[in-house]
């Protein structure tokens, strides 16, 4: 099952997504706010972990596909993660740098939030990003999230991280 917007299809990963996903997650510019770009083995693990998650729960990262071309341009979804010392429902999005600045991340995030609240009964979602990742912060703010905390992120080189929250309205 997928989520669709005017321009995007957000669907569960399939094995055939590996090469495109490796291009995205292995790209230094795209992954500049992560600890480092992913190795091939890390991409394989990411892909299969998220295929497994989707088979057994409503959690998991998904492929973000352009409807017009069928091209995989990114990754987005909701996972359980330790954020600011607690297990929380974490909304995340990664788009290949070639797709930045076109509103795709906001479109995908907004659709995933609506789906999580309406179809799965989530009441609160969080997102975290590096303090200097202004584009990601703008996405969170555009979809109605508010910054609720700052902390040194042990999962990302202990860099200052902003935690955003959105409560079901």
CA dihedral 96, 101, 102, 105 (to 10 degrees): 60
Helix, strand, coil % over all residues of the chain, rounded to 5: 35, 35, 35
Domain extent, residue 87, equals 3-167
What was the pLDDT predicted at 118? 93
What was the pLDDT predicted at 1? 57
Q: What angle do helix axes 18-25 and 40-56 make, rounded to 10 degrees?
A: 120
Number of domains composing the chain: 1
10-residue mean pLDDT series, the chain (169 residues): 92 97 98 95 96 86 97 97 94 97 97 95 96 97 98 92 95
Query: What is the rounded CA–CA span in Å between residue 90 and residue 128?
Result: 7
Task: Please report, for the domain that includes residue 110, its CATH number.
Answer: 3.40.630.30
């Amino acid at each position: 099952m997928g989520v669709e917007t005017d321009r995007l299809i957000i669907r569960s990963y399939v094995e055939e997504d590996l090469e495109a996903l490796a291009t995205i997650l292995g790209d230094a510019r795209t992954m500049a706010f992560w600890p480092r770009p992913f190795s091939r083995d890390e991409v394989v693990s990411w892909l299969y972990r998220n295929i497994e998650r989707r088979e057994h729960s409503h959690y998991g990262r998904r492929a973000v596909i352009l409807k017009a071309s069928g091209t995989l341009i990114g990754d987005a979804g909701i996972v359980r993660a330790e954020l600011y010392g607690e297990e929380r429902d974490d909304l995340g999005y990664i788009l290949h740098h070639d797709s930045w600045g076109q509103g795709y991340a906001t479109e995908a995030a907004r659709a995933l939030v609506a789906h999580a609240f309406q179809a799965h009964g989530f009441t609160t979602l969080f997102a975290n990003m590096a303090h200097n990742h202004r584009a990601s912060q703008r996405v969170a703010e555009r979809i109605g999230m508010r910054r609720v905390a700052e902390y040194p992120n042990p999962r990302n080189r202990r860099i200052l991280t902003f935690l955003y929250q959105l409560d079901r309205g």
